[in-house]
Amino acid sequence: MRRARHGPRPRRDGNPAAGIGSFPPRPRAPLLAVRPAGRAQPRSTRLFAGIALGTGLLVLLTQTPALAGPRGTLKGLAAPITAVVTHAVDRVDAGLGLLQDAGRRRADNHKLQAENRALKRQLAELQAAGRENADLRQALGFERSFGHRLLAASVIARSPDGWTRSVTIDRGRAEGIEPSMVVVSGAGLVGRVTDVGQHSATVQTLVDASSRVNVYTALSGLDATAIGEGGLISMAVLPKPGVVAEPGEWALTSGIGGTYPRGIVVGQVAVFHRRDSATLETAELAPANDFGSLSTVLVIRDWMPAR
C-alpha cells in the first residue's frame, strides 16, 4: 500500500471536527442591496423622465408593425400614462402661452404710454402754435387798420410779483426801441416801454399799479382815467348830468396829455357806480388784453409821446 502523500489538514477556522476538504464559508450577499446615501432626485427630473418614457412608449406603439397584435392591449395599459403626459404638456403649453401673452401686453402697454405722451406733447404744441398764429393774424389786421409803423416782438418774461405788472420783450435798442414808446396788440393797448436794453425791453402794462391812461367812453362820451390795480382796471369818471356808461361800452385812449395816441382800445365797462353828489364817479373795466397769456405785441415806431 502506498503511503498517503499528505496527512489530513486541520481546518483553518480551528474546528477539529470538520472533515477533509472543508473550506471556509463564503460571506453571503445581503438580500437587499443598500443604495449609498446621496442626493435625492428632484421632482421635476422625475416628471420629465416620466414624460419622456410615456412619449417613447407612444412612438413605439404607433410606429412598430410587429406590435400590431398586442397594440390594443398596450394602448389600454398606456392610456393613463397618455392622459398624464397630455395633461402635463397642456399645462406647460398654457404656462408658456401666459408668459408670452404677459410679455406682449407689457410691451404693448409701454408702446401705448409712449404714444400717449407724444400725442399730448403734439397737442400742446399745436394749441400754442394756434394761439400764436391767432395773435399774429390779429396784430397784422390791427397794423393795417391802425395806420402806424409797428415792430412785432415776442414776450419772453413776466414780472414775478402780483403788483408790478410788466413784461419783457425780445426787442431793444439795437432794433430801434426807445423808452416811452407805446406797445399794443391786436386786441388793444398793452402799455408803454419803461426800460431798454440792447436786445430787450421792459413794458409797463395797463394793470400795473402805477399805470394811468386818459380814456373816453365810446357811446356816452364820458372822460375818465383808467387806473391799474395789479390785475384789474378801475376808472375814475368825470360825471355829466344824466349821463352814465353802460356795461359793455368800450373805453379808448383819449390822447389827452400826449402820452398815448387817440383811439386805442383799453377795455370794456363791466360795472358803473353812479354817485349823484360825488365829483367823480367810478367804473370797473375788463382789459381788452389777457396779460397772463400775452405772447406777441407790437411797438409803435412812428409815434412818440409829447416831451
φ/ψ of residue 45, rounded to 5: -65, -45
Which DSSP category does 164 fall into?
Answer: S
The number of folded domains in the chain is: 2
Nearest one of 295, 292, 12 to 159, comparing CA atoms: 292
Go through 216-242 and write b for each residue having 16 or more CB atoms within 10 A of its CB, e for each that does not. Answer: bbbeeebebbbbbeeeebbbebebeee
Amino acid at position 77, single letter: L
- Confirm whether 73 is domain-assigned: yes
pLDDT digits (tens, 9 = 90+) for 278-287: 688 899 999 9
Taking a C-beta distance cutoff of 8 angstroms, is the pair 214, 256 a contact?
yes
Domain range for 170: 150-300
Q: Is the pTM of this model over 0.85?
A: no
In a domain, 217, yes or no: yes
Are 295 and 191 within one domain? yes
* Contact of 223 with 262, CB cutoff 8 Å: no
pLDDT more than 90, % of the chain: 36
Identify the CATH number of the domain in which residue 268 sits.
2.40.10.340
In a domain, 11, yes or no: no
Position 240 scores a pLDDT of: 87
- Give yes or no: residues 201 and 120 share one domain: no
**Residue 128 domain-assigned (yes or no):** yes
121 and 199 belong to one structural domain: no
Secondary-structure percent of the chain, ordered helix, strand, coil, rounded to 5: 35, 25, 45
Ranges 15-24, 88-97, 249-258: which has the least confidence: 15-24
Q: Best-predicted range by mean pLDDT among 83-97, 132-146, 223-237, 264-278?
A: 223-237
Taking residues 147-163, report their average pLDDT. 84
Strand partners, 151: 299
Q: Which among 146, 166, 194 is the end of a domain?
A: 146
Let me know whether 218 and 190 are in one domain. Answer: yes
Question: Of 120, 146, 172, which marks where a domain is finished?
Answer: 146
62 in any annotated domain:
yes
Q: Region 130-135: what's the mean pLDDT?
A: 59
Of the chain, the percentage scoring pLDDT greater than 70 comes to: 55
Is residue 37 assigned to a domain?
A: no
Do 140 and 276 fall into the same domain? no
pLDDT tens sequence across 9-61: 545 444 444 444 444 555 554 444 444 444 555 555 665 566 666 666 655 55
Does any domain span residue 22?
Answer: no
Q: Are residues 208 and 267 both part of a single domain?
A: yes
Same domain, 112 and 164: no
Better-predicted residue by pLDDT, 193 or 135:
193
Q: Is the pLDDT of residue 214 over 70?
A: yes
| Domain end marker among 94, 116, 146 | 146
Neighbour count for residue 173 (Cβ, 10 Å): 14
Q: Tell me: do 167 and 290 sit in the same domain.
A: yes
| Residues with Cβ within 8 Å of residue 174, at least 6 apart in sequence | 198, 199
Greater model confidence, 209 or 21: 209
Reduced to 3 states, what is the DSSP secondary structure of residue 183? strand
On whether both 233 and 256 belong to a single domain, the answer is yes
* Better pLDDT: 15 or 223: 223
Same domain, 157 and 134: no
Domain shared by 59 and 111, yes or no: yes
What is 50-119 written as a DSSP string? Answer: HHHHHHHHHHHHHH-GGGSSTHHHHHHHHHHHHHHHHHHHHHHHHHHHHHHHHHHHHHHHHHHHHHHHHH
pLDDT at 200 over 70: yes
Average pLDDT, the chain: 75
Tell me the per-residue pLDDT of 59-82, one tens digit each, with 9 for 90 and over: 555 555 554 455 555 555 556 666
Do residues 120 and 180 share a domain?
no
49 located within any domain: yes
At 1 the pLDDT is: 43
